[in-house]
């Protein structure tokens, strides 16, 4: 399945949530408070940020970009490897864009990967997500021959310096699994997210990767409004 266009309905994420909990049960198996709304500008969507959000840049930047993505999404990986480095250098690090990353789980594997990422120190979160994207063929079962996905995820954790017992504990955390799945449900019900990657930029939704030139034009037009 091509997962740049996925999950056509609320039932899909509900099924993922149940499957995720089942996954953690087979292997042994708190919501954070709101910190304030994202700037909606003249866009349709006003996103409430929470203390659990992983972000980069200046919270007071004129542009707030929320990305909904999945570790197993190949198109998301392409964005991470080809577009994001330029976005970070030219817009995030310069105080123009405040970037927030949220996992929109497509499967129980995404929930497991995000659960491990959440167990790392906050400063190691983005490096681990980048590691997962750059090494999808080593652990992602969609489109790759991975005999033991669980073991492959443990190997990814080991590369990131996480002991095996800690990774196991993180992946078995059913409360964390439910929280991650709820983010996916909220993305659908509140912001009409049905594909990865999807972005909400100052209240406007954009779907897909596009080109760097297109992103530059779009962001510069946003900046011209401020």
CA distances from 141 to 74, 81, 150 (A): 12, 20, 10
Average pLDDT over residues 117-122: 96
pLDDT digits (tens, 9 = 90+) for 6-63: 443 333 444 444 444 444 433 333 333 445 555 556 678 888 898 889 999 999 999 9
165 phi/psi in degrees, rounded to 5 = -65, -35
pLDDT of residue 38: 57
Distance CA 67, CA 201 (A): 9
Distance CA 198, CA 68 (A): 5
Question: Has residue 115 got a pLDDT over 80?
Answer: yes
Average pLDDT over residues 194-198: 95
Question: Has residue 118 got a pLDDT over 50?
Answer: yes
For the entire predicted model, the pTM comes to 0.84
Question: Has residue 2 got a pLDDT over 60?
Answer: no
pLDDT of residue 48: 85
């Amino acid at each position: 399945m091509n997962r740049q266009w996925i999950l056509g309905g609320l039932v899909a994420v509900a099924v993922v949530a149940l499957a995720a909990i089942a996954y953690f049960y087979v292997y042994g198996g708190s919501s954070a408070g709101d910190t304030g709304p994202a700037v909606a500008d003249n866009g349709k969507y006003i996103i409430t940020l929470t203390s659990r959000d992983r972000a980069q840049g200046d919270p007071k930047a004129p542009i707030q970009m929320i990305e909904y993505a999945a570790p197993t999404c190949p198109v998301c990986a392409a964005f991470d490897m080809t577009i994001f480095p330029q976005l970070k250098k030219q817009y995030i690090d310069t105080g123009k864009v405040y970037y927030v990353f949220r996992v929109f789980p497509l499967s129980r594997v995404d929930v497991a990967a995000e659960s491990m990422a959440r167990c790392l120190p906050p400063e190691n979160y983005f490096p681990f997500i980048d590691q997962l994207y750059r090494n999808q063929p080593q652990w992602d079962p969609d489109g790759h021959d991975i005999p033991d996905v669980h073991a492959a995820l443990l190997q990814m954790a080991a590369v990131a310096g996480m002991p095996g017992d800690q990774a196991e504990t993180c992946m078995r955390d059913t409360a964390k699994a439910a929280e991650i799945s709820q983010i996916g449900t909220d993305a659908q019900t509140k912001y009409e997210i049905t594909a990865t990657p999807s972005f909400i930029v100052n209240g406007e939704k954009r779907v897909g990767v596009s080109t760097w030139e297109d992103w530059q034009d779009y962001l510069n037009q946003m900046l011209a409004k401020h």
